[in-house]
C-alpha cells in the first residue's frame, strides 16, 4: 500500500507583528523569516517525520528549488513534483505575540495542475493505495473522481474551504479531517456534536476527525466517538499545527494504532509544532514526540 499526497508547496514569508493588522492599518514588523510550507508539503513532511513513506505530487515555480530540497531532506519522494515557469505558491503570514497567525495565500504553480498530469501521476498508484488531499491546488474534483475510480482510499482535509469544494463529490471521501470552521462550512452546523451528526447523515461511510482548537479533537467512525484534549505548550507559531496533526493521525491509522492512541500522538506532535516557529521546520520527528513529556 502506497501513500500519495497530491498538494500544495508554498514559500511562507512570516512576519512577526505586535498584533494582526486591522483594515487600513500600516504596521512595522519586527522580523521576517522565510519558511517552507503549504498545507500539502507540511502534511507530507509530517507523514515522513512520523515514519510513513510518502510520495508528494505537485508543482513548484521558478523559485521553488528549496521546496524540492526540503522534501528530499525529509525523505519525501519527489518523483511526481514538477518545476514549471512562473511564480510558485507563496504566503504572507503575520504571527502575533501570542503565536496566532493569519495567512494570505497566492496559489502560483499550485493552480497549474492539468488533467494529463493528474492521470500520469495516478497511473503509478493502484486500488488500496491512499491519497491525501487539501484544497490549495486546482482540479481537486477531477483528482477525487479519478482516485475513486482506481479504488484508492481518499483522505481529505478541505482546507482552506472555498467554492471549489462544492464541485467535489465528497461522498467518495473515506476520512475527513476538518476544523470547526470547515465543519460548519460543510454542514451548516456550529456545535461539534451537530457537525458530527450531520456528516454522518451526509456521508454515512466516512470517518471524521474534527479539531476544536483549545478543546482538542473528536474522531467519529461507525464504532463510535473518541475525544482527545490538547497538550499545553507556550504558543510561538500555530502555523502547520493542523497539518502536523493530520500527518501524524494518518500515520497512526497506517500503523494500525488504536484510535485513542493515534489521537494522542497527533495532538502531542501538533503541540510541539506550535511551540516553535515555521511550518515544515516546526514539525517534530516521531522519536521526539514519543519521548516528549509535555502534558
Ligand atoms: O497550514 C499552514 C499552511 O497554510 C502554511 O504553511 C501556508 O503555506 C498555508 O498554505
Residue 269 is predicted with a pLDDT of 98
- What nine digits make up the cell of 176? 475527513
Nearest-atom index, ligand 1, CA of 279: 6
**Contacts (Cβ under 8 Å, ≥6 apart) of 110:** 8, 9, 10, 38, 40, 58, 59, 88, 89, 136, 137, 138
- Distance in Å, CA 248 to ligand 1 centroid: 17
Backbone angles phi, psi at 249, to 5 degrees: -65, -40
Residue 106 is predicted with a pLDDT of 98
Closest to 238 in 3D by CA, of 85, 101, 96, 82: 101
- What nine digits make up the cell of 253? 491509522
pLDDT in tens, 94-148: 999 999 999 999 999 999 999 999 999 999 999 999 999 999 999 999 999 999 9
Q: Whose CA is nearest to atom 8 of ligand 1?
A: 38
How far apart, in whole angstroms, are the C-alpha atoms of residue 189 and residue 25?
Answer: 33
Query: How much is the average pLDDT of 7-35?
Result: 97
Nearest-atom index, ligand 1, CA of 8: 10
H helix intervals, 128-258: 140-150, 180-187, 192-202, 241-254
Nearest-atom index, ligand 1, CA of 37: 6
Read off the pLDDT band of 27 (50, 70, 90).
very high
How far apart, in whole angstroms, are the C-alpha atoms of residue 63 and residue 185?
Answer: 34
Query: How much is the average pLDDT of 264-290?
Result: 97
Query: How much is the average pLDDT of 192-205?
Result: 96
Ligand 1 contacts CB of residue 39 (under 6 A): yes
Residue 28 is predicted with a pLDDT of 97
Set 65, 145, 243, 293: catalytic member: 243
Query: How much is the average pLDDT of 229-237?
Result: 95
Ligand 1 contacts CB of residue 66 (under 6 A): no
Is 141 part of any known ligand binding site?
no
221 contacts 229 by C-beta, under 8 angstroms: no
- Distance in Å, CA 265 to ligand 1 centroid: 21
Residue ranges with strand state E in the chain: 3-6, 10-16, 31-37, 55-60, 77-83, 89-95, 101-106, 130-133, 153-156, 175-179, 207-211, 217-221, 224-228
225 contacts 24 by C-beta, under 8 angstroms: no
Q: Among 7, 37, 110, 242, which residue has the most ligand 1 atoms within 8 Å of its CB, making it the best to mutate? A: 37
pLDDT in tens, 240-252: 999 999 999 999 9
Ligand 1 contacts CB of residue 38 (under 6 A): yes
**Contacts (Cβ under 8 Å, ≥6 apart) of 251:** 46, 47, 50, 51, 52, 265, 286
**Contacts (Cβ under 8 Å, ≥6 apart) of 277:** 14, 33, 35, 95, 236, 237
Closest to 118 in 3D by CA, of 75, 149, 89, 156: 149
Q: Whose CA is nearest to atom 2 of ligand 1?
A: 240
- Distance in Å, CA 29 to ligand 1 centroid: 20
Ligand 1 contacts CB of residue 91 (under 6 A): yes
Residue 79 is predicted with a pLDDT of 98
Residue 39 is predicted with a pLDDT of 98
Residue 276 is predicted with a pLDDT of 94
Q: Whose CA is nearest to atom 7 of ligand 1?
A: 38
Read off the pLDDT band of 162 (50, 70, 90).
very high
The C-alpha cell 454515512 sits at 204
From first CA to last CA, the distance across the chain in angstroms is 34
How far apart, in whole angstroms, are the C-alpha atoms of residue 275 and residue 233?
Answer: 6
> Is 243 marked active-site?
yes
pLDDT in tens, 40-97: 999 999 999 999 999 999 999 999 999 999 999 999 999 999 999 999 999 999 999 9
Read off the pLDDT band of 239 (50, 70, 90).
very high
Query: How much is the average pLDDT of 259-280?
Result: 97
In the chain, the percentage of residues whose pLDDT exceeds 70 is 100
87 contacts 8 by C-beta, under 8 angstroms: no
Residue 244 is predicted with a pLDDT of 98
Three-state SS for 34?
Answer: strand
Read off the pLDDT band of 207 (50, 70, 90).
very high
Residue 174 is predicted with a pLDDT of 98
- What nine digits make up the cell of 108? 502560483
Ligand 1 contacts CB of residue 243 (under 6 A): yes
pTM: 0.97
Question: Residue 67, Cβ neighbours under 10 Å: how many?
Answer: 27
Residue 163 is predicted with a pLDDT of 95
Nearest-atom index, ligand 1, CA of 243: 1
168 contacts 144 by C-beta, under 8 angstroms: yes
Amino acid at each position: 500500500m502506497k501513500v500519495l499526497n497530491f498538494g500544495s508547496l508554498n514559500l511562507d514569508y512570516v512576519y512577526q507583528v505586535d498584533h494582526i493588522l486591522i483594515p487600513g492599518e500600516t504596521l512595522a514588523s519586527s522580523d521576517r523569516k522565510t519558511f517552507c510550507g503549504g498545507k500539502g508539503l507540511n502534511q507530507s513532511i509530517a507523514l515522513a517525520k512520523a515514519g510513513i513513506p510518502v510520495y508528494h505530487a505537485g508543482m513548484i515555480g521558478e523559485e521553488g528549488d528549496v521546496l524540492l530540497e526540503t522534501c528530499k531532506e525529509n525523505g519525501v519522494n519527489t518523483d511526481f513534483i514538477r518545476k514549471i515557469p512562473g511564480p510558485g505558491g507563496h504566503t504572507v503570514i503575520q504571527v502575533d505575540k501570542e503565536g496566532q497567525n493569519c495567512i494570505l495565500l497566492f496559489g502560483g504553480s499550485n493552480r497549474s495542475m492539468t488533467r494529463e498530469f493528474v492521470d500520469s501521476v495516478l497511473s503509478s498508484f493502484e486500488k488500496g493505495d491512499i491519497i491525501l488531499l487539501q484544497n490549495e491546488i486546482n482540479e481537486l474534483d477531477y483528482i477525487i473522481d479519478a482516485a475513486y475510480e482506481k479504488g484508492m482510499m481518499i483522505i481529505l482535509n478541505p482546507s482552506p474551504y472555498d467554492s471549489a469544494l462544492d464541485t467535489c463529490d465528497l461522498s467518495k471521501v473515506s476520512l475527513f479531517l476538518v476544523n470547526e470552521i470547515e465543519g460548519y462550512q460543510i454542514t451548516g452546523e456550529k456545535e461539534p456534536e451537530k457537525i458530527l451528526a450531520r456528516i454522518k447523515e451526509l456521508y454515512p461511510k466516512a470517518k471524521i476527525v474534527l479539531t476544536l482548537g483549545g478543546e482538542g479533537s473528536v474522531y467519529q467512525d461507525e464504532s463510535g466517538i473518541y475525544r482527545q484534549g490538547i497538550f499545553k505548550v507556550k504558543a510561538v507559531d500555530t502555523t502547520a499545527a493542523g497539518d502536523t496533526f493530520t500527518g501524524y493521525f494518518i500515520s497512526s491509522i497506517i500503523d494500525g494504532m488504536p484510535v485513542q492512541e493515534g489521537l494522542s500522538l497527533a495532538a502531542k506532535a501538533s503541540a510541539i509544532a506550535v511551540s516553535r516557529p515555521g511550518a515544515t521546520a516546526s514539525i517534530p520527528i516521531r522519536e521526539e514526540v514519543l519521548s516528549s513529556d509535555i502534558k
